[in-house]
Amino acid sequence: MVGSQGGATPGQDEDDALRDVASSGAVEFARGATDGPPDAAAFLLGVLVHGDDTRAMLAHVETGSGRLVDLGRVNPNVEPPRVTAQGGHVLALVLDFAAGATVLRTVGVSRAAQMLTTRLGPEVRKTARDPSGADIAVLPSGQALLVWDRQDAHGRSEIVGLSLDARSLRETSSPRPLTPAGRPASEPRLVAGPQSYWLLWLEPQTSAPKSGTSDDAGVLFEPPSVLYAAELDAAGRPRSTPVAINQDQPAPVIFDARVLPSGRLLVAYRTAPADRPVDDQPTRLAAIDIGAAVPTRAPDEAGVPGPGAPTLLGSPAGDPTWLAVEDASGATALVRAFAETGAPGAAPVVGVQGMAIAGEPRRLLVAEPRGIGVELRIQSCALD
């Protein structure tokens, strides 16, 4: 139990029937999302289930029930589908690989009585030269944006966007560049607020010395990068100058982000100096105001160490926000970030068993490995 600065007490699982939702084969999953009113929302998660073939699926988890929605057969070497939801609109972005190139398929998911149905939307086929990054987000109005990275005419990577309507799944724009011309940009991440989006991306710094970690297969090098963020309007057009998050410390970086109720963008990130593993570095928090030129950083000592990637949990426009970091034992430590500023609370909450992958004010969706599968469950929390 934490004190007056805010936190949570991990509670009991709400329903054992949620266990082993995706236990039919080896499972990979992406970040989660929520859809519905506070404290009663459904949790949504993109998963890959590897069996005789590999299926992209959407896990739909509510109190007392869990089901998998089949999104189609995919290449076993792709990443799990991305899922986004707001205002009753649920979209999935399925990544596939065919003829040497990445294929992006958008899928709308609708509820009809007790059934969940799917509809195919726009499909984007990359060239074999293009990077593989992509993301999708939807606003409560039903406006949605698909982003991906591609090579421009000069061989540099850039990020482009395609607007679509979540109801009809029709395109409402042609693909257009979203990042500054002449500067490399890759690995897009898109987050939605109530009325606009924030786009984040990495800009490799080719002139800086490389960092890396070694394993039994040899040495894997990643170029030092600067993480950038820029606000986009509801139509998916840039409305602000990109803001550099780690301008003074280019390095390999892992990150997550969400929009706070104040409209600020909160970014949790971890960088790795040369010849140091990223796992032993602190997680830092930075908040970006609309129209700001530089981020506001929280004190470094407020970060939570741990081997897992930092995750920001919460509904798109609600409070609280949780910073979740998996520790070395496979449990999750939580730190509350306050609604207006993004500043962290004083004490982490420990004792959440498994990896917290989605959340709302008083409930978390938690995943734990079970053999080759994974157990998904809703865990309740009591706010102090």
54: confidence class by pLDDT, cuts 50, 70, 90: very high
| Phi/psi of residue 234, nearest 5 degrees | -65, -25
Euclidean distance between CA atoms 282 and 288, whole angstroms: 20
The alpha carbon of residue 76 and the mean position of all alpha carbons in its chain are separated, in whole angstroms, by 21
Cβ-count burial of 59 within 10 angstroms (0-12 exposed, 13-18 middle, 19+ buried)?
A: buried
163: confidence class by pLDDT, cuts 50, 70, 90: very high
Strands 157-165 and 134-138, by their bridges, are unpaired
**What's residue 156's pLDDT?**
86
Q: What is the pTM of this model?
A: 0.88
Strand order in the sheet with 265-271: 253-259, 265-271, 284-288, 296-297
**The domain 8-383: what is its CATH number?**
2.130.10.10
Over 50: is that where the pLDDT of 195 sits?
yes
355: confidence class by pLDDT, cuts 50, 70, 90: confident
Residue type, 337: A
Euclidean distance between CA atoms 292 and 230, whole angstroms: 10
